[in-house]
Structures are given as C-alpha cells and as structure tokens.
C-alpha cells in the first residue's frame, strides 16, 4: 500500500509538472501574440446590416407559407412603397443603431478589440443615433472591468444613447459595465447584480514550517505586500487587505450612483444577485426584454448595423490562443472562478 501511494504521488507530481510546463509555454505564445496585436493593431472592422438579415428571414418564411397571388401582392406593395420614397428625397435620414457584443471572461480579455469597435462607432455615430451592447459576463478582475466600463462611458461623454441588453448574465464586473448605459434591458431569467468584491487565496505557510522550509519576502513600504500564499500573514496585513477590498467596493458603488442616481445602491450592493424581474423591481434595470426582440422591434424604424473588430492572426497565434483558452477553461472548472487570485468582481 505504501509503495502504491509512493508511486501514485510520484505520478501526480510528474503530471502537475507537465501541466505547469504546458501552461507556461502556452502563456508565452499567447503573450507574444497579444503583444504583436497591441503593436501592429492589425485587424478589420466588420459591419453587418441587420435589417437585411431580418428581411431575409421574413422573405424565406413568406415564400414557404404564402401562395403566388399573395406573394405578387406583397411585391406590388413593396414597389409602390419604394416609388413613394423616391418622391420624398428630402426626408430626414433614419436613426442608426450600432450593435456591439461583449462576452467577458474573468480577465475581460476582449477589452482591446472592444475599444477598437467603440472607436469605430464614435467616428460616425451622432446624438440622434443609438448604440446597443449585447452583454454577457459573470465578472472578473477589478482593473480589467474598470477599463471596460470606462470604454463604454465614452458614449456618455459624446451624448450618444447607449442601451445594454442582458440575455443571460451581467453580474459584478458585468453590471459595472451595464450601469454606464442610459437604459438596461434584461431577459426575465437573466442574472444581474452581485455588486461586491472578493479575494480568495490559500496559504501554505504551515506546510512549509512543518518541513522546515523558510520563505523570505523583502519589501520597501509597510504595506507593499499585505498577504501572501507562502509567507506568514500578520493581523495588520490581513486588516489592510480587507481595507483595500472595502475601498474597491466603495469605488464600485460610487460608479453606479453616478450613472443610476435613482437607484438605492446601498440596498443592492450586498454581493447578492437577482433575476430579471426582481432586478426591475429593485431598479437595477429599466425593462424586461430580450436583445433579439428589442432589435427586431426597432428595425422597423431604424437602420441597424452590427459592428465587430476581427484581429488578423497567424496560424501560430490561433493555435496559441486556442490552447490557452482550453487550458484556462479546464483550470477554471477544477478550481472554480471564485478561487482565482487577486481582487475580483465576482
């Protein structure tokens, strides 16, 4: 039995070593690719007219359901409408709606491409237009989601209306982004809220002491390092770390108060999350509606354009990002996102 445990422990150590080595290699490849992206800014803005998409859906269904006489009458009415529009050339242009997507992970790693999309929209959008963001994020690192929300505030500075649609989840860092909008819509069972800050990390100091292993850390500045995973954490260090978390929470609440002054922030900034209908009752959102329903509804009166920024990547870059994403998802499933190091908005 002892021999078996010894062999199993050796096997486990080797497996962990291999996984760590792979993670390091993939991280280097991904970091190099990201650095090259930031340096070159190579990519393309892709614009898709959604009105055409909705018309194609309608036409496909009509040709399957209606008979020839009905289709002829529809075509006759369409030509009549086009002829009428040509006579009124001086009609004011339709309102333009620019649709963006943000599917955020713990690191909000898509924020650089997102910033490019926002910049592209700002080159053309006017005050009479609207931006719709389809947002999905469970939250993550404070600084990353702080940057993402700051990018969205650029629309407020230009007085361009912003509507955020949440179909699944916009919690914590996700809600930090959502609250910058002039209007927030959510599906009935979408999850929002979780206005709080969390930081979790294990401490192995007792294990090191058991095996007479010293861990020394040298700093300049009383609170340069408050708590560590390997050193002995003092009461003063723990207290300071909690203070830093509380300060971050205050900044989070202040951001919400600035953007949603009618909301009782203290009542909802408990770290709890709620479903769409509950969020409406608490004032976290402004309406219950899915993004698809909202866009189709306004498509009758507006020109809608889906905007995305696609980075040009080599085969090595794509392979590196794919491997990094797969390993990150695997590790997240094992450890749970709430156990990731650092202060997180989750």
Residues classed as catalytic: 172, 224
DSSP H helical segments within the chain, as ranges?
A: 2-40, 50-65, 68-87, 111-122, 142-157, 173-178, 205-210, 235-259, 265-268, 276-282, 291-298, 315-335
Q: Which residue has the tokens 């997180």?
A: 344
- Tell me phi and psi for residue 183, to 5 degrees: -150, 135
H/E stretch holding 311:
strand 302-311
Tokens, residue 178: 């959502």
What span, in angstroms and rounded, lies between the C-alpha atoms of 192 and 276? 7
Q: Could you say which DSSP state residue 344 is in? A: B
Residue closest to 145 by CA, chosen among 112, 176, 184, 180: 176
Give CA–CA dist 193/195, Å, rounded: 5
If phi > 0 it is left, if psi is from -120 to 50 it is alpha, else beta; for residue 67 that is beta
What is the rounded distance in angstroms from the CA atom of residue 51 to the CA atom of residue 297?
11
CA 249 to chain centre: 19
Q: How far is CA 248 from the centre of its chain?
A: 19
Is 276:192 a contact under the CB 8 Å cutoff?
yes
- Token digits for 75? 């075509």
Phi/psi at 171 (5° precision): -110, 150
Inter-residue contact 135 to 165 (CB < 8 Å): yes
């Amino acid at each position: 039995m002892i021999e078996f445990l010894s062999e199993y422990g050796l096997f486990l150590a080797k497996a962990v070593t291999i996984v760590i080595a792979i993670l390091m290699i993939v991280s280097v490849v991904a970091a190099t690719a990201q650095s090259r992206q930031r340096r070159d800014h190579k990519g393309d803005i892709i614009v898709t007219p959604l009105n055409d998409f909705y018309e194609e859906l309608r036409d496909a269904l009509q040709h399957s359901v209606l008979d020839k006489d009905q289709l002829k009458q529809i075509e006759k009415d369409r030509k009549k409408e086009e002829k009428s529009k040509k006579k009124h050339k001086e009609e004011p242009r339709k309102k333009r709606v620019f649709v963006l997507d943000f599917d955020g992970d713990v690191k909000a790693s898509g924020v650089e491409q997102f910033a490019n999309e926002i910049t592209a929209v700002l080159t053309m959008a006017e005050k009479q237009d609207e931006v719709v963001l389809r947002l999905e994020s469970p939250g993550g690192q404070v600084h990353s989601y702080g940057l993402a929300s700051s990018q969205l505030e650029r629309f407020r500075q230009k007085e361009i209306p912003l509507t955020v649609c949440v179909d699944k989840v916009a919690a914590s860092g996700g809600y930090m982004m959502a609250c910058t909008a002039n209007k927030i819509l959510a599906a009935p069972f979408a999850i929002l809220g979780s206005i709080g800050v969390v930081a979790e990390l294990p401490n192995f100091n007792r294990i090191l002491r058991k095996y007479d292993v010293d861990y020394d850390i040298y700093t300049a500045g009383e609170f340069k390092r408050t708590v560590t995973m390997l050193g002995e954490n003092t009461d003063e260090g723990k207290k300071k770390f909690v203070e830093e978390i509380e300060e971050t929470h205050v900044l989070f609440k202040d951001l919400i108060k600035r953007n949603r002054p009618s909301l009782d922030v203290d009542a909802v900034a408990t770290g709890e999350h709620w479903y769409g209908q509950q969020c409406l009752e608490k004032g976290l959102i402004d309406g219950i509606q899915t993004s698809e329903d909202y866009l189709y509804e306004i498509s009758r009166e507006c020109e809608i354009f889906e905007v995305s920024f696609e980075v040009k990547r080599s085969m090595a870059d794509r392979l590196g990002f794919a491997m990094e994403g797969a390993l990150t998802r695997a590790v997240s499933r094992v450890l749970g996102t709430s156990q990731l190091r650092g202060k997180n908005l989750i």
